[in-house]
Structure 1
Amino acid sequence: MLFVIHLLASAGLAWSLGAAHLGGGLLAFALLYLIARLLGLAIGRLRRYARSLEHGVSFCLWFIAQVFLATYHVATLVLARRVDVEPAVLAYPVTRREVDKVTLLGTLLTLTPGTLALDYDEEQGLLYIHALDARRREDVTEILIELERRLLAWLDAGKAEGVTP
């Protein structure tokens, strides 16, 4: 809800300053964010909102970079003279077993070229993933761990201090 208020206030500020275009809107969004960040030192709810916004932007930029890297990796595999891949189905133990978080993780994995979320076993907490090239399983697992860590950091950033995720 705070994000919608922030977005509407940014649009109103950009329009009132006569900069009713994308650059003006982004500038107004950044200015209001800085004000919220400064006020957030005194107001806990604004501090949580600013932290959530920071984690969200950081996660989105990181994930877009990962999609581009995975796209490049898959393209080099497909365009090589000799296709040398080792597909595999991996069982990944998730950190948090809530179905909504596992569904989001699986969806993000499926958006990444070369990986596909297949199934989730709620009892064991295992997410089954198909990887196009699993010659180095450690690399695939490291990316999964980092994706889950960053996603959970973003989702938990807006919670009140002292609340355990």
Structure 2
Amino acid sequence: MQKRNLITKGLNLLYPCFFKLLFNVNQGQILSINSKIMKPIHEMKLHQKIKILYKLYPASIVEFTDYLKACAIETIEDREEAAETSGKCVVQQDYCVLLAMKTFDRIKQYGESFFYCRKLFTKQLFKGSISLFTVHTLLRYAETKYCSPKFALAVKLFIEI
């Protein structure tokens, strides 16, 4: 019995949804081994979407984190103004201030570690109740003039769906 001549090829550049494909050289067949197909966007969880945004736009994530910190400080300091604009927010004003305080504490605690560790960024800012404030701020950031048009489009496609 002959051994099958199989060659492992990584086609991440052509087909990013597959990790490995095996090609049978003799018969020209493609065997899928350990393949991982990307889920449709509407089936993805929030932290998965943010990980993709982080991979695609790392510079915009740094700018967004600065914007998030500034918004958290503004919300904490201007509680009266936040009470007037809380009609736009999903949650009550006091809870929004509490979320802003938690967000500021996490940004202060981890600092620049967010820029080096995608998992830390998504786990600390986009999981749990704090994600209400960060997603709201991300959507607001996408509408500002400081946000790059490509990143704004990606946020609208990934988050608003």
Shorter chain as denominator, the TM-score bin is under 0.3
What TM-score, normalized to structure 1?
A: 0.26
Greater relative contact order structure (CA < 8 Å, 6+ sep): 1
